[in-house]
Amino acid sequence: MEVGRFAPSTTGRAHAGTLLAALLCWLDARSRKAELWLRLEDLDPDRCRPQWSEGIRDDLAWLGVDFDRIVEQHDLAAQHEAALDRLAEAGLLYPCACSRSSLAEGAVRAPDGSLGYPNRCRGRELARGGWRASCEPLRVRLPDSGIFLRDESGLDLSQQPASSFGDPIVRRRDGAIAYHLAVVVDDAASGVTRVVRGRDLAPSTATQVALQRLLGLPTPVYRHHLLLLEERGEKLAKLHGSAGADVLRASLAAEEVCGFLACAAGLRSAAEPTTPHDLLHDFCWEHAGSEDRVVRFEAGRLELVPAASGGGYPRSP
């Protein structure tokens, strides 16, 4: 049985980009008769709030996107800890003593525009009490070899993650489990065979595949889709003030938003009101566009606007 998942971070209400990603994930899974999980990624205590988990669930149900299973990532701590135990037993975990400012010195840009980590603390060992006793961030030593893979859309995801991004943090200083480890462990634990997600996450895939290999976990099929962008060229994000679903819902019906998303994704030629179920009968990825679309929400209306020249995601650092 194929299994897909939608895994939003609970850092705000859904915005149009979240709704598009959920819709595409749902269409992919339902068109293949796959099981579909919603995993609410709420491990970052600085940015996630329980009311946003609630809000996102409500926004997705409002759009007409349903799930076979719903899990909250904070309930999955036992499997994250078991993975850290395995990495520690294999001698692959090390504490990182680098300060934020020392990380910035001479750092190279990673493929997503962030600062790469030069693996400076690789020689350090875990303290006596093991990883549980550490009050420093923990990193995992990745093999220096390359990961060669393409996603289902043909996007080349090949990279040497140990040098392009550097060894990832898997447990933060505050004890929170970091994204790359949680995503890999949780996908495997729920038997995920297809990961459908936005193109902003494509550069992370090689690091995640390297972690899967270290943990002996299977690699799912990946597909990365177009993004909705703000007029400044940034991807839509609540952090940058994009209209949340609570605001969209005050002006627009679910069918209108669904029709807009279908048009933005290239699944319909015009933004006529529709539902996820109506889109299902002729859904196939060949109909979907691959170009990112710029979106404006003004005077209670969602509109697609022509991309400004030089725009696009990610912006050059």
Give the DSSP H/E element, type plus range, for residue 40: strand 35-40
In whole angstroms, how close is the CB of 54 to ligand GLU at the nearest point? 16
In whole angstroms, how close is the CB of 163 to ligand GLU at the nearest point? 22
Q: Which is nearer to ligand GLU, 197 or 223 (CB)?
A: 197
Q: Which is nearer to ligand GLU, 157 or 263 (CB)?
A: 157
Q: Which is nearer to ligand GLU, 35 or 271 (CB)?
A: 35
Query: Which residue type, as a one-letter code, is found at position 165?
Result: F
In whole angstroms, how close is the CB of 301 to ligand GLU at the nearest point? 26
Question: Which segments within the chain are labelled E, that is strand?
Answer: 3-6, 35-40, 69-72, 93-95, 138-140, 169-171, 194-198, 221-225, 228-229, 293-298, 301-305
Nearest Cα neighbor of 237 from 249, 225, 226, 229 is: 229
Query: Which residue type, as a one-letter code, is found at position 58?
Result: D
In whole angstroms, how close is the CB of 30 to ligand GLU at the nearest point? 18
In whole angstroms, how close is the CB of 316 to ligand GLU at the nearest point? 21
Q: Number of helices (H) and strands (E), helices first, in the chain?
A: 10, 11
Cα separations in angstroms, 188 against 79, 87, 117, 275? 10, 16, 26, 31
195 beta partners:
5, 222
Q: Which is nearer to ligand GLU, 197 or 225 (CB)?
A: 197
In whole angstroms, how close is the CB of 76 to ligand GLU at the nearest point? 13
Distance in angstroms (rounded) separating the CA atoms of residues 119 and 96: 9
Distance in angstroms (rounded) separating the CA atoms of residues 48 and 127: 30
Decide: helix, strand or coil at residue 257. helix
Q: Which is nearer to ligand GLU, 166 or 220 (CB)?
A: 220
Which residues contact ligand GLU (rule: CB under 6 A)? 7-9, 41, 183, 197, 201
Q: Which is nearer to ligand GLU, 71 or 88 (CB)?
A: 71
